[in-house]
Structure 1
Amino acid sequence: MVLKVGIIGAGGIAKDAHIPNYLKCGEKVEIVAISDVAIEKAEEVAKEFGIPHFFSSYEEMLEKVELDAVSVCTPNKFHYPATQAALNAGCHVLCEKPPAMTVKEAEAMAEAAEKAGKILTYGFHYRHAPQVEALKRFIDAGELGEIYAARVTAMRRRGIPGWGVFTNKELQGGGPLIDIGVHMLDTALYLMGYPEPDTVFGVTYQKLGNRKGVGLFGQWDWENYSIEDLARGMITFKNGASILLDTSFAANVEKHEEMNVALMGTEGGADVFPLKIYQEKHETLIDITPSYLPNKGYHELELARFVDACVQGTKPISTAIEGVYLQQIINGLYESAEKGEAVKIGGKVRV
């Protein structure tokens, strides 16, 4: 079976990650069409990669072209409607992170996938990192025991994106928390077995992004900056576990960028990036570091595994239900920061 794929959104993540890695799948995949509200951009990308059809709307694409699967590569605000349309058209969907703008949207997306009998998975490419895969094997073998605490770090010193719509709250839903923090948060939750969230307490700050400054990722539009610079939070779970989170686009810290997850369990702990495991064995405190890890691209593995799941009918590594839990946490942290108090977010997912 050749998987016929359509792309919704012709921006950087489509051009740099999705399309090139679909092409690496060889004869398993045919990229049939691409859509973008800026039709000239869709046409340009179509010509660059030899995609036969391009459209100004995904509705028209889904109506006129027969597709098996779709990548949703739009700004966050449009994840929900684009995913719903693709699922309703009978397509499997790989939607970029975060799942949506609200919990209700994420729930509706999961419900639509369940109803359609199609795969809905999300672009959490750090799950496919060799460090994460190796540590997951250790965890599954009981080497860390019960993981009851974690620390999530996604910090940039002056890493506000100077392109795209990343500083537009209306289109993105937020800043570093929903953009890069979500990656490390998902990684921690995945390694912890995705426990059901219970309560969150969050704070956000806008101190640096709304004034001109040094931009390590280009000069951002500081005069129209509507997101947070820094978000901090604590998440507790129904099983008693907890996570502390720090994420920023701009903060006065030493490192230009730090992305990491630290886990603490009853039989061991670990840092993920770089991978290091901490244990007590034979009356000795030991640190374990790998001498070799495979070096395959995260996005390459993500797209290859999505294709295999669609073709073989297997469960994807990231599920729609996990997307709902993650959305509960993200939106709960923003709500808590706005209210200035802890927010209860527990409750079974409506799917």
Structure 2
Amino acid sequence: MGKLRVGIIGAGGIATSVHLPAYKKLPEQVEVVAIADVAYDRAKVVADEENIPYVFEQYERMLKEVELDAVSICVPNKFHRDAAIAALEAGCHVLCEKPPAMNQQEAKEMEDAQAASGKLLMYGFHYRYQAETQTVKRFIDAGEFGEIYSGRVQAIRRRGIPGWGVFTNKELQGGGPLIDIGVHMLDTALYLMGYPEPVSVLGQTHQQLGTRKGVGLLGAWDYENYTVEDMAVGMITFKNGASIVLESAFAANVEKNDFMQVSLMGNEGGADIFPLKMYQEKHDTLLDITPAYLPNVNAHETEIHAFAADCIAGNVTDIYAKQGTNIQKIIDALYQSAETGKAINL
């Protein structure tokens, strides 16, 4: 095939700061030929700046009128399902930003559409591509950690409620820090643990700080129309006996302004991933292992380049779509548990 012809759905920050720059670094393999956004003027500005020949207000027209091989979906969560299914049905490979969708049902519909299309559906879980994550993955695959039976996931900001976008709008996002930043660390843990099958979820959410005026390290947010949680905590158990404890917050009274961490514990070793430090017992000695060198990786870029490479090579798999449904099932269950006050058996 010739160059991969890509269309962009959504002309906001994630499209202009992540997807477009990454595609532009593959000039011999990829050509971005179209962009669509309901804010047409915004799309036109981006198209002019990036020399994108076709601009649309409705992505449906883009998919119908422009010959595309692949699509990046960079719109609010509420619109992921419809855009992804439309693109898959139009014969396009799809890279959809995280989270997969608003809920498990939508993610399952996207999974089914992927299966019917024979195209690739991939989600924007770029922390998988961090050098730390890939290093730990190699250690795990080599048996260095043994059986991983416990994980701890943390995505906590001191006062990091976004002052832009729709991150605090439950109708458009589906939730708050859990579905926005917590999902990144949860996916990283699940990825390293082999995406085990969840069997129960116990969760609680809190809305203590987001609905009142306060210091905004990511800008002033609309506290009067704040409709998501500002903290979520939970515990997940899996069919193989493993468990994960999760904490995620846009705002919490803690020391660090921003803390993203995955910790894993196995019967032969463990690790804190960000920054990477591994722990083992060998030869009657307790060891802390810190890499002397890790490559400087742009994880967003690496993810998008991997997507493009798979599209060009025709490497279609259903694993990403299935994992998307799986993680969405966990998120749904945690929110349901918080609402009902009961553990949810899956």
Over 4 Å off, 4+ runs = 315-318
**TM-score normalised according to structure 1 size:** 0.97
Deviations 1:236-295 (A, max 9, x none): 011110000000000001110100000000100000000011000000000111011110
Question: How many residues are treated as equivalent by the alignment?
Answer: 345
- Say whether residues 1:328 and 2:329 are aligned partners: yes
- Say whether residues 1:277 and 2:278 are aligned partners: yes
Q: Which residues of 2 match residues 230-309 of structure 1 at below 5 A?
A: 230-309=231-310
Deviations 1:204-228 (A, max 9, x none): 0000000110000000011100000
Q: Which residues of 2 match residues 1-351 of structure 1 at below 5 A?
A: 1-315=2-316, 319-345=320-346
CA apart distance, 1:25: 1.4
CA distance in 2, matches of 1:88, 1:316: 16
Counterpart of 2:245 in 1: which secondary structure? strand
Are 2:155 and 2:185, in contact at CA under 8 Å, matched by a contact in 1?
Answer: yes
Are 1:5 and 1:70, in contact at CA under 8 Å, matched by a contact in 2?
Answer: yes
CA distance in 2, matches of 1:318, 1:250: 34
**TM-score normalised according to structure 2 size:** 0.99
Are 1:305 and 1:316, in contact at CA under 8 Å, matched by a contact in 2?
Answer: no
Counterpart of 2:46, as a letter, is: V
CA apart distance, 1:318: 6.4
Unaligned runs of 5+ in 1: 346-351
Deviations 1:48-78 (A, max 9, x none): 1111111001101001100000000000000
User: RMSD value over aligned CA atoms?
Assistant: 1.0
CA apart distance, 1:314: 2.1
Deviations 1:303-350 (A, max 9, x none): 1000000011225696100001000001110011001110112xxxxx
Are 1:76 and 1:171, in contact at CA under 8 Å, matched by a contact in 2?
Answer: yes
Are 1:69 and 1:92, in contact at CA under 8 Å, matched by a contact in 2?
Answer: yes
CA distance in 2, matches of 1:197, 1:57: 38
Are 1:121 and 1:316, in contact at CA under 8 Å, matched by a contact in 2?
Answer: no
CA distance in 1, matches of 2:275, 2:83: 36
Q: What is the aligned-residue identity percentage?
A: 64
CA distance in 1, matches of 2:175, 2:297: 31
Are 2:114 and 2:318, in contact at CA under 8 Å, matched by a contact in 1?
Answer: no
Using a 3 Å threshold, how does the CA distance of structure 1 residues 77 and 36 change in structure 2: closer, same or farther?
Answer: same
Counterpart of 1:27 in 2: which secondary structure? coil
Counterpart of 2:28 in 1: which secondary structure? helix
